[in-house]
Structure 1
Amino acid sequence: MKAPVSWIREYVDLPADVTTDELTRRLTALGLKLEGVESAGAGISGPLVVGRVLTMEPEPQKNGKTINWCTVDVGAANGTGEPQGIVCGAHNFAPGDLVVVILPGGVLPGNFEISARKTYGHLSAGMICSARELGLGDDHDGIIVLPADAGEPGDDAFDVLGLREEVIEFEINPDRAYALSLRGIAREAALAFGAPFRDPADRPVPAPNDAGYPVFVDDPAGCPVFVARTVTGLDPAAPTPDWMARRLQQAGMRPISLAVDVTNYVMLETGRPIHGYDADKLAGPIRVRRAREGERLRTLDGTDRVLSPEDLVVTDDSGIIGLGGVMGGETTEMSDTTTNVLVEAAHWDPVSMFRTGKRHKISSEAGKRNERGVDPVITPAAADRVVELLVTYGGGTADPGVTVVGSPPPQPRITISYDLPARVTGIAIDAATTVANLEAVGCTLDKADSTLTATPPPWRPDLVDPFDLVEEVARIVGYDRVPSVLPREAAGRGLSREQRLRRRVGRTLAGAGCVEVISFPFVGDAAFDALGLPADDPRRHTVRLANPLSSEEPSYTTTLLPGLLKAAARNIGRGATGVSLFETGTVAFPVDRGPAPIYGVDWRPSDDELAKLFDAIPEQPLYLAVVLAGERERAGWWGGGRAAGWSDAVALVRRLGTELGLDVEVSASTRAPWHPGRCAQLAVAGEPIGYAGELHPKVCQAFGLPARSAAVELDLDALMRRARDVVPGPEFSTYPLAKEDVALIVANDVPAADVEAALREGAGPLLESVRLFDVYTGDQVGEGRKSLAFALRFRAPDRTLTEEETAAARDAAVALAAERTGAVQRS
């Protein structure tokens, strides 16, 4: 909302020494967020004066253009008092007219410097200016012709045109619709400085009578008040007064015609949207109702719209003529031939206005105000103000008929204790301050011993409960006075088990060199195709969003890998030699139980209704994904580097299991997007929790990742369910370690993990660790077989082991491995 300072001062007696900075500071403290302060003449400097055209001689040119060689009286502004010779290409003025002249040495917006220069055979010393050249609008068809009483030649044109006028722009929150008007902003300014306020809507209005235009309202809930006034004999050629056009431009609106400009001006002035009909195009009485299925309307923007039964419409005997409170129709639009105007000032249900605007994707200045809630009491005054301006500046006649249908809805009564503002804010606010501040914002109060009952003013539909009133009191007292108090943590509270485990997971992965990222949880078929998922893969069955951010990614993801792989590829593409990224987030799997019911917001759903709501919500488990690509160990003076591989992915999961007190079981598997034969299924106590391994080469290529990149994806909820809250620290023995190495020959398809598990179980309690340190295939072990070399480490907590004890444990381990996997010890 843009508000010229002079327009604010028209309604508030602000102290003369109040600067714009001070005004904006105080209004911001009251809750009107400052966007900026601008001045129309900010880009203009130098001599800009009023001039009187003395002569103009048309001179046709060879290019078919006709220019005017003018002499212009600029008084003493040029230093000589002699008429100024200026070439002008416009033709909308005549000798004797007052115009705006910028003399040599001046600068126009865009840093356009003016100098005396020879053109069309004349020395043109200056420029006669148009509105566009001064940055006052888009009109470039002709120059500005000032009113006859605008001033004398040589007078400063900055003041005449209001170019020194400062305009404040505010960002208005949705709950403060009253501030989308000069009436509202001025009321806040009066509140800020304790200055007298003159309400532009406080005016005598004629009483309703039976001579007005007939109006019927079939839906009083949707349109509680409808006021109609008629102006006849309007001069369609009457221009918009300069002061009005200037204020509209300063407020960010383009002047169009007198009838349209007057309705826009009154809307800005009072906050009440007004609509004007060409009365000669109306057929019969006006009726307000809900649209019927299949009805259509071509609105003023030229769009043919199919209406919904929820839309409020304005009709006459010819059909629908307007989308109530949002936009009028083409058939009754005012034009440059309109002489009779029917003025509509109606109050509309804000919820209906909001839904209609969203449904039809219409964003208008009227709709913006109606959907937020407008003062319903001032409809007769706003209509009367429009009639007054049309009569004054358009030469029209006010018809004596006045139509008023309905009455404003009653305001709620809110009971509040005197000390509630003090208890909520922590500021020492006494009862007298509470009363004074609520009265200052327009509330009517009924006072009792310990409580008061407030009736909010009609322009404040946002005040509905006691805490809204607390906010009003607090913002006047000053938010800067609210003390900063650190809240106390309740005894026995703290992080939940899930929070503690999630932090443990994050610290573990960070300690392993991984960096956490967050990506958008949305996918499309292209991502699943890049992952190589089969057509029947359950992960392709997604929850589709009703209003997706992108039509290419319309679904909630069932896997974290697409976003993580894109992030890894982006970093690799920007020069990273290696990345280790992880992400935790929810995925969604449809439950296919039908759509979730939509309940109102004015009551709490029952337990049965909540159960139906939760029943329709998809399953959303928490997942963890890791991607390792490029260098895992860098090269340096210590030797060559090493690329990340599947073993690093599996090792990360094992390390995570250790930190959570879990034994992670690893077995060979096949699952997209991993490479067949290099994919491991991960499980805890027999329950599968995810997969890890090397990505398929086609997946690496599709995402732009280095070959043999690795990835992990786990069901973190399943992992945390089995995690130990407290993981005991390792026990250390002071006795020496006994070392035994064994090499076992097994078939190629026997997983090393199975051999390791058998060795660990067979070795018994003396085994401290087992580690695979070599894999060999070749002629010495035979075709289709491999040799796995394990380092076994034994230690007893209470004694030094003998060679016999160590050998017995080793032999037992080998024997069990042979029994379970067919292993043969290599000599």
Structure 2
Amino acid sequence: MKFSESWLRTFVNPALSSAELSHLLTMAGLEVEELEPVAPAFDQVVVAQVLEVVKHPDADRLKVCQVDIGPMSGSGTPLQIVCGAPNVAPGLKVPCALPGARLPGDFKIKVAKVRGIESSGMLCSAKELGLAEDASGLLELPADAPVGTSLRSYLDLDDQIYTLKLTPNRADCLSLTGIAREVAALTGTPATYPDIRPAPVSTHASRPVVLEASLACPRYCGRVISGVNARAATPEWMRRRLERSGLRSISALVDVTNYVLLELGQPLHAFDNAKLKGSVRARMARAGESLKLLNGQTLTLAEDVLVIADDSQPLALAGIMGGEASSVTLETTEIFLESAFFAPKAIAGRARRYNFSSDSSHRFERGVDFGNTLNALERATALVLEICGGEAGPITEARGELPEHPPVRLRTARVKKVLGLAFSADEIAALLGRLALPFVQEGDDFIVTPPSYRFDMEIEADLIEEVARLHGYDNIPAPAPVGTLAMLPQEETRRPLFRVRQLLADRGFQEVINFAFVQEAWEQDFAANMNPIRLANPIASQLAVMRSSLIGGLVENLSTNLKRKQSRVRLFEQGRCFLRDAGATPVPGYDQPWRLAALAYGPARPEGWGNDGRKVDYFDLKGDLEALLAPARLRFARLDHPALHPGRAARVSLDGRVIGCIGELHPEWVQKYDLPTPPVLFEIDLDAAVQARLPVYAEVSRFQPVIRDLAVVVDQQLALQDLLEGMKAAAKAPIQDLQLFDVYLGKGVPEGKKSLAFRIVMQDTQRTLLEAEIDSALADLTAYLEQNFAAQLRA
């Protein structure tokens, strides 16, 4: 909404400066997006009249003018000014910059000689005064402009232009009267509104009105005005107000409708009555109908579009724009002037559908005051009769069921709770009274009936907002929040997620965060999931399903890094996955486990002089995983996984529970996703990573340990992990630890066998071990290996 301050102050004139008024409106919810002067600064420019014009003796395009500047000349002698404007002529009234004047751009006017002829001033165009971007000649002023008057005063160039950025709910402020009503309520300054009286009816000419779509158009008023002079000039004051509100002057009849639109917020339209046939009808468009609008656009109308029509054809898009066939022209002598209320839902979105908008649709789709329909018609009629003459006929009106604004209850206690301020009932009553809101008081409660122009008042919170606005947001204190802080218990059996992430970062991994919705191909390739959870409204066509594994995102991250010439990549991600599970909670039918995944690619060590360039492999990542979950002992077993290499993948178990997988990416996916070499990766339940083992005290022996080596020959297919777990379970005191230190295949070892050498540490906390005890422990361990694993001592 754009308007001039001088126009607003004709309605309400508070004792505030332009900047103060701007701040007041902004803090009341009517944001002033821009405040700018009507004209740039200049001085000593007056209204002047050209008395005589003669050709310059030494220049074909210059003329020597005698100019009357009135009392400003002192002696009453006209000024001689050399001018090159093509439209300069005797009798013309134009702006004249006197010697000593300063024009926009810091341009100073001095007495000077132009081609040998003295020039004592300058006749100005609108461009030279900063009033227009372009000008073909001098700015021509009205014939009744008083000579010698300051141009700034005459044209009110010290005015300010306000541009409001209104929220959609404040359609009541899309007019000067609406803004004046707000300013009056905020400042307590009395407001004066246009004196609207019924126009005298001096002709019986009328046209019937029919509502065929009364829900979309519950009220339609119109009247015929005969004998109008469409060529009449729009008054300077009206044209100025329209232009400063962003509307150009077109013709007197059109300007009147635009003026009432800005003044009262009621869109109007004038039809050429001679072009209408039969009744004026508010109806829905019919299939196949078309309409050429005033903007030159020809539309094929849909059946859900409301139109104004006569008995033969559509005349206008209701509440949006008139049609060209029935438009008024300079030859029009009789008009049918309409003023109507259209339901917001019937107008909303229709203009945007046809790729344009209008001031009328902008208002109607937000809600126009249906109680002001007749007043706007009377106001426009009075202006037409004043400017264009003519005779007004009786108003024809058709009415359906107008919107109802049910009363809203406002509780004093609720106001205090929401705003944090204790308003008394009398204070709230005073604030509501300033807004002219009708109410009935019931104890400390108020039953408020929203007026017809307030479509935004529907619930109690809307009224509380009004109380806050009038009281002033600046006056609402902002106390610091008060709360009780308590240290939450930290379980010793769980470590913070941050610690898990830090452990991986310490080992050279970088965290990534990917979308939880992924490509369907990833689910099929990396999880063999042929029935993923689909999104009802994906943000992109390729991101249409929810992930059940983190592997796809990491492979995509690797591919992106390789395209950017990164040769060594270490990535990890923690996040939710989504699986179908009929018995899952808290979302029935869907399990949402937290997972942790990591990927390693490229050289095992960063580039350096001591780096042999070895590529990362399964055992490197296995070491990272074991370090991450230490001191817990993990078990690894052969696994077939859709994302991993068939012979280089393992199931990861912790305390007998499978927690994830680890391995090298499947060769098929290495080729499909264009990776030079296969990365290694793991994916485990995040819950396993955050588990922490409580430390257990063990006495440290003061006696020296006894170390013995034990070499056995076993079947080559026997898993070392099974052997170690069995030996540790069977080992008795004084055995404290045992570790594999050698594997041998070759001469001296039978075909199909392998030699395993273990280092066994024995120690007692109370005494030095006897040789017999040592031999007995070794004999028991050897017997266990022979009985359970068919192991033989190596010779």
The question of 1:87 aligning with 2:87 is answered no
SS in 2 for 1:368: helix
Alpha-carbon distance in 2 for matches of 1:787, 1:348: 93
Equivalent residue number for residue 397 of structure 1: 390
Equivalent runs, 1:56-135 vs 2, <5 Å:
69=63, 71=65, 73=67, 75=69, 82-89=79-86, 91=87, 94-101=89-96, 131=126
Q: Tell me which of 696, 699, 710 is aligned to 1:731.
A: 696
The question of 1:349 aligning with 2:346 is answered no
Cα 1:780/1:400, change in 2 over 3 Å: farther
Equivalent residue number for residue 459 of structure 2: 465
The question of 1:508 aligning with 2:500 is answered yes
Q: Tell me which of 432, 444, 447 is aligned to 2:438.
A: 444
Alpha-carbon distance in 2 for matches of 1:246, 1:572: 65
Alpha-carbon distance in 2 for matches of 1:623, 1:361: 48
Cα 1:416/1:234, change in 2 over 3 Å: same
Q: Which moved more, 1:6-15 or 1:383-392?
A: 383-392
Q: Tell me which of 26, 29, 39 is aligned to 2:27.
A: 29
* Superposed displacement of residue 27, structure 1: 2.1
Give, as a single letter, the amino acid of the residue that structure 2 aligns with 1:509: R
Is this contact kept in 1: 2:227–2:391, CA < 8 A?
no
Is this contact kept in 1: 2:272–2:327, CA < 8 A?
yes
* 1:479-536 deviation line (CA, Å, top 9, x unaligned): 3444546778799999999xx99x94455224532666666777789xx79x9969x9
Alpha-carbon distance in 2 for matches of 1:699, 1:104: 85
Alpha-carbon distance in 2 for matches of 1:576, 1:474: 58
Equivalent residue number for residue 584 of structure 2: none
Cα 1:281/1:126, change in 2 over 3 Å: farther
Alpha-carbon distance in 1 for matches of 2:252, 2:764: 100
Cα 1:456/1:571, change in 2 over 3 Å: farther
Equivalent residue number for residue 14 of structure 1: 14
Alpha-carbon distance in 1 for matches of 2:410, 2:590: 43
Equivalent residue number for residue 607 of structure 1: none
The question of 1:764 aligning with 2:729 is answered yes
* Superposed displacement of residue 436, structure 1: 1.1
Is this contact kept in 2: 1:740–1:810, CA < 8 A?
no
* 1:530-560 deviation line (CA, Å, top 9, x unaligned): x9969x98599954748x5x7x868577587
Give, as a single letter, the amino acid of the residue that structure 2 aligns with 1:50: V
Q: Which moved more, 1:283-292 or 1:513-522?
A: 513-522
* 1:758-797 deviation line (CA, Å, top 9, x unaligned): 7456643979999999999x99999xx9999999998999
Equivalent residue number for residue 40 of structure 1: 38
Cα 1:824/1:109, change in 2 over 3 Å: farther
Q: Tell me which of 204, 208, 212 is aligned to 2:197.
A: 204
Alpha-carbon distance in 2 for matches of 1:576, 1:565: 14
Give, as a single letter, the amino acid of the residue that structure 2 aligns with 1:33: E
Q: Tell me which of 301, 313, 316 is aligned to 2:307.
A: 313
* Superposed displacement of residue 348, structure 1: 1.8
Is this contact kept in 1: 2:533–2:545, CA < 8 A?
no
Is this contact kept in 2: 1:226–1:404, CA < 8 A?
yes
Cα 1:428/1:735, change in 2 over 3 Å: same
SS in 1 for 2:394: strand
The question of 1:474 aligning with 2:468 is answered yes
Cα 1:555/1:780, change in 2 over 3 Å: farther
* Superposed displacement of residue 88, structure 1: 2.2
Q: Tell me which of 251, 261, 268 is aligned to 2:245.
A: 251
Alpha-carbon distance in 2 for matches of 1:475, 1:98: 49
* 1:295-323 deviation line (CA, Å, top 9, x unaligned): 55444444454544433232222333333
Q: Tell me which of 428, 431, 453 is aligned to 1:434.
A: 428
Cα 1:164/1:796, change in 2 over 3 Å: farther
Cα 1:419/1:156, change in 2 over 3 Å: same
Cα 1:517/1:39, change in 2 over 3 Å: farther
Alpha-carbon distance in 1 for matches of 2:678, 2:118: 78
Cα 1:533/1:444, change in 2 over 3 Å: same
Equivalent runs, 1:136-151 vs 2, <5 Å:
136=131, 140=135, 143-151=138-146
Is this contact kept in 1: 2:200–2:392, CA < 8 A?
no
Alpha-carbon distance in 2 for matches of 1:94, 1:359: 51
Equivalent residue number for residue 596 of structure 1: none
* Superposed displacement of residue 221, structure 1: 2.3
Cα 1:491/1:160, change in 2 over 3 Å: same
Equivalent runs, 1:299-338 vs 2, <5 Å:
299-335=293-329, 337-338=331-332
Q: Indicate the RMSD between aligned Cα atoms, in angstroms.
A: 6.1
Is this contact kept in 2: 1:53–1:71, CA < 8 A?
yes
Alpha-carbon distance in 1 for matches of 2:294, 2:490: 58
Cα 1:400/1:637, change in 2 over 3 Å: same
Identity across matched positions, percent:
30
* Superposed displacement of residue 427, structure 1: 0.8
Is this contact kept in 2: 1:544–1:556, CA < 8 A?
no
Equivalent residue number for residue 424 of structure 1: 418
Alpha-carbon distance in 1 for matches of 2:463, 2:211: 34
* Superposed displacement of residue 52, structure 1: 3.0
Alpha-carbon distance in 1 for matches of 2:715, 2:136: 91
* Superposed displacement of residue 432, structure 1: 0.1
Q: Structure 2-normalised TM-score?
A: 0.74
Equivalent residue number for residue 227 of structure 1: 221
Q: Tell me which of 252, 261, 282 is aligned to 1:267.
A: 261
Cα 1:430/1:666, change in 2 over 3 Å: farther
Is this contact kept in 1: 2:339–2:373, CA < 8 A?
yes
Alpha-carbon distance in 1 for matches of 2:193, 2:239: 22
Alpha-carbon distance in 2 for matches of 1:256, 1:81: 37
* 1:270-309 deviation line (CA, Å, top 9, x unaligned): 2222233333333332222334455554444444545444
SS in 2 for 1:83: strand
Q: Which moved more, 1:328-337 or 1:732-741?
A: 732-741
Equivalent runs, 1:675-754 vs 2, <5 Å:
719=685, 727-735=692-700
Is this contact kept in 2: 1:586–1:623, CA < 8 A?
yes
Cα 1:390/1:210, change in 2 over 3 Å: closer
Q: If you compute each CA radius of gyration, which structure gives the higher value, 1 or 2?
A: 2
SS in 2 for 1:764: helix
SS in 2 for 1:344: strand
Equivalenced residues, count:
765
Give, as a single letter, the amino acid of the residue that structure 2 aligns with 1:400: G
Give, as a single letter, the amino acid of the residue that structure 1 aligns with 2:210: F
Alpha-carbon distance in 2 for matches of 1:414, 1:653: 64
Is this contact kept in 1: 2:532–2:545, CA < 8 A?
no
Q: Which moved more, 1:430-439 or 1:168-177?
A: 168-177
* 1:686-713 deviation line (CA, Å, top 9, x unaligned): 778688766989989989x998777777
SS in 2 for 1:249: helix
Q: Structure 1-normalised TM-score?
A: 0.72
Is this contact kept in 1: 2:269–2:338, CA < 8 A?
yes
Alpha-carbon distance in 1 for matches of 2:30, 2:405: 24
Structure 1 stretches of 5 or more lacking a match? 592-613
SS in 1 for 2:406: coil
* 1:196-224 deviation line (CA, Å, top 9, x unaligned): 02234x62235999954322112322222
Q: Which moved more, 1:371-380 or 1:80-89?
A: 80-89
Alpha-carbon distance in 2 for matches of 1:699, 1:45: 75
Structure 2 stretches of 5 or more lacking a match? 582-586
Equivalent runs, 1:586-625 vs 2, <5 Å:
none
Is this contact kept in 1: 2:51–2:68, CA < 8 A?
no
Alpha-carbon distance in 2 for matches of 1:700, 1:121: 89
Cα 1:586/1:724, change in 2 over 3 Å: closer
* 1:125-148 deviation line (CA, Å, top 9, x unaligned): 987555566554566455532212
Equivalent residue number for residue 414 of structure 1: 408
SS in 1 for 2:153: helix
* 1:244-291 deviation line (CA, Å, top 9, x unaligned): 333333333344443333333322222222233333333332222334
